Each structure stands twice: as C-alpha cells, then as structure tokens.
Amino acid sequence: MLTVASLPRVEIARLRRPALQASGWLVMGLGVLSLPIPGPVSTPLLAVGGLMVLRSSVSARRHYVRARDHAPRLVRPLFGRFDAWRHRHRAPVRVSAKVLAAANDVAANDQGELASVTVAGNA
C-alpha cells in the first residue's frame, strides 16, 4: 500500500502543489455555490480558495500581477488590503545590539528628564 511515509520527499513536494491548487479550486467552487445562502459565507470561501490557487499556480499569480498592474482601480479594492497586510508583516528588521543599547540609553535619559520636569511642575 502506498502511504505518505513510504514516498520520498521529492515525490511529496511534486504532489503537494497540484493538490493545493485542486483544493483551492474546490473551495472557490464551494464559495460560488454558497452565494445564494444569506450571510457572509461565500466571501471567506472565495478569498481562501483564491489565495490557495495564487500560492500554488504560477500562471494564476502571473495573471493576478498583470491585472493588478493594468487595472489597479478594479483590483485594489479587492486585494489591496491583503497586499498591504502582507507587506507590513514581512520579516522583521534586525537591529544590532549597539544600536539597541543606544536607543535604550536615549529612552532612559528622556524618562529621567520627563520625571524631573513633572516633579518640578507639581511642586
């Protein structure tokens, strides 16, 4: 019997992308079928399915980028918030220990000056 544990890692990687793409299309199909249902059921299904397809399909990503570049007024209301979120949540900026120590010293000095001004102002 063929199991995931018996497959080599390369075979799993080759099967993962088409499986992700097929499941994304399936989720999008469920979103389209759920359009007549009252309530916000179809919108999250369409969004999640679209993201799954965009992550797994090179041609879908190419069409999305082309549409985003040529018709930004149509695409930005749909995906603009996701793009903004994705760019905000990139890898964090790494700060060296010297810069962090200098920033902490400046903050400590500012707090000391602020405390002395507050005490002098209340007296």
**pLDDT tens-digit readout, 36-87:** 988 888 888 988 898 889 888 888 888 888 888 888 777 777 666 666 776 6
Residue 26 lies in a domain: no
Domains of the chain: total: 1
Residue 1 lies in a domain: no
The parent domain of residue 120 ranges over 94-123
Residue 69 lies in a domain: no
Residue 54 lies in a domain: no
10 Å CB burial of residue 25 (0-12, 13-18, 19+) is middle
Mean pLDDT of the chain: 76
Q: How many CB atoms sit inside 10 A of residue 77's CB? A: 9
Confidence of residue 29 (pLDDT cuts 50, 70, 90): very high
Residue 104 lies in a domain: yes
Distance CA 28, CA 50 (A): 7
What is the sign of the dihedral through the CA atoms of 46, 51, 52 and 56? Answer: positive
Q: Are the beta carbons of 45 and 27 closer than 8 angstroms?
A: yes
